Amino acid sequence: MRVFVQIPCLNEEETLPLVLQSIPREIPGVDELIILVVDDGSTDRTIEVARAHGVEHFVVHARNMGLARSFRDGVDYALAHGADIVVNTDGDNQYPQDRIPDLLQPIIDGEADIVIADRQTATIAHFSPFKKMMQKVGSDVVNKAAGTKLPDAASGFRAYSRNALYRLNVVTQFSYCMETIIQAGNKRLRIASVPVETNAKTRESRLFKNIWQHMFKSGSAIVRSFLMFKPHVILTTIGVLMALIGLIPMIRWFVFWLMGEGAGNMQSLLFGTMFMLGSFLSFVLLVIADLQRTNRVLLEDALERVKRIEFGGPHVGGTLHTQIDLGPDVEGVAEVQRFDRVPTGMITLPGDEHLGGAPGAPAAGG
C-alpha cells in the first residue's frame, strides 16, 4: 500500500515545517508513505525548507495557478508514481496531520472510496457566527446536489482511493472541494467523514479576499456541478416557474377578451407571452443539457479508461524543465516536475537523469 500525502503550498516557508513534522511516517496497513509538495508559484523559500526536511518529491508551478490546478497536478503525479491512496492536506498547518491514519483506515478496510475530515466548524473559535452559518448552508446545498450527508463539505483535509481518482475530473478553476463531492456522490462513490479538531489559525486565507467572494465562487462551482449532473432540477424548476408566472397575465387578458375588452389589455398578453417563451426556451435548454450530460458520461468513461492505462503501467517519473532554479545542489531530490504554463496532460521527456527521473518516463503536466 503506497500512500502519497500531497501538500499544496504558496509561500509557506514558516508553517511548512510544522506540517511536515506532524505527518506520521509509520501507519498500520501502509507499506510506503511519500510526501509530495505542490509549489504553486511560491516566491519564498518553500522548496528549500521542504528539501531541508527530507521531502524528495515536488510539483512546481512557475506561477500561481490556483488550488484546483495544484490538486490536479499533484494527483496526476501521485498516480503516475503508483499511489494507492492520496491524502490532501494544506501547507498552512490548519489541519491535524496526526489524524491521517484515521482518514486512511476506512479506505484500507474497503469501507470508503473517499474520506473527508469534519472540522466541526461550529466549534472553530476564529470563525464568525456568519461564517459558521454559511459553512452549514454551503454543506447542505452540496449534500443536496450530491445526494450525500456530509457535515463539512468545504474541508480540504481528505483521502482519496486510487479508484476514486480515476473517476473524478476537476474542471473548476477555484476550489476542487465541493466539485469533487458532487461528482463522487453522483457517481455513487462511497464517502465517509471523520471528525477532527483544527489547529490554531496561522494566517488569512489566500483562496479568497473576503467571505462574499468565497460565497460567489463556491456558489458558481456548485451551480456548474449541479448543471453537469442534474440539469433537469434547475432548468425544469425555472421553466415551470416562468410558465406559471406567464399564465397569470394571459388568463387576465383572456378574461378581458371574453368581456370584449381585450384590445385595451394587450400589455398582459405581451407580458405573459414573454414568460411563456422563456419557459419554452428553458425546456429546450433542458433537452440540450441532457444530451450534453449523456455525452459527458461517455467521455468520462473513456477518460477513466485512459487514466487506468496511463497510470497503470510502471510507476516511474520524468521531469518537465522550466526557468525555475532549485539551486545547484539537487542531491536527495527523487522527482521534480515543473510547469511554466498551464499543464494539459502527461508528458514524456527523455534525458532527465540528472534529477533522478528515469529516461523517457511520464511526467504529470504538459
Interhelix angle 67-80/266-311, rounded to 10 degrees, is 30
**pLDDT reading at 36 higher than 80:** yes
**pLDDT reading at 221 higher than 80:** no
The per-residue DSSP string of 295-342 comes to HHHHHHHHHHHHHHHHHSS---------S----S--TT--EEEEESS-
Tell me the average pLDDT across 98-115: 96
What pLDDT, on a 0 to 100 scale, did the predictor assign at position 348?
A: 32
What pLDDT, on a 0 to 100 scale, did the predictor assign at position 334?
A: 56
Per-residue cell: 366? 504538459
Residue with the bigger pLDDT between 225 and 170: it is: 170
Residue with the bigger pLDDT between 352 and 302: it is: 302
What pLDDT, on a 0 to 100 scale, did the predictor assign at position 366?
A: 35
**pLDDT reading at 42 higher than 60:** yes
pLDDT cut 70: percent of the chain above it:
82
Residue with the bigger pLDDT between 222 and 238: it is: 238
Note the pLDDT tens digit of each residue in 243-257: 999 999 989 888 888
- Highest-confidence segment of 114-118, 214-218, 348-352: 114-118
What is this structure's pTM?
0.75
* Predicted confidence band of residue 175 (pLDDT cuts 50, 70, 90): confident
Contact 346, 365 (CB under 8 A): yes
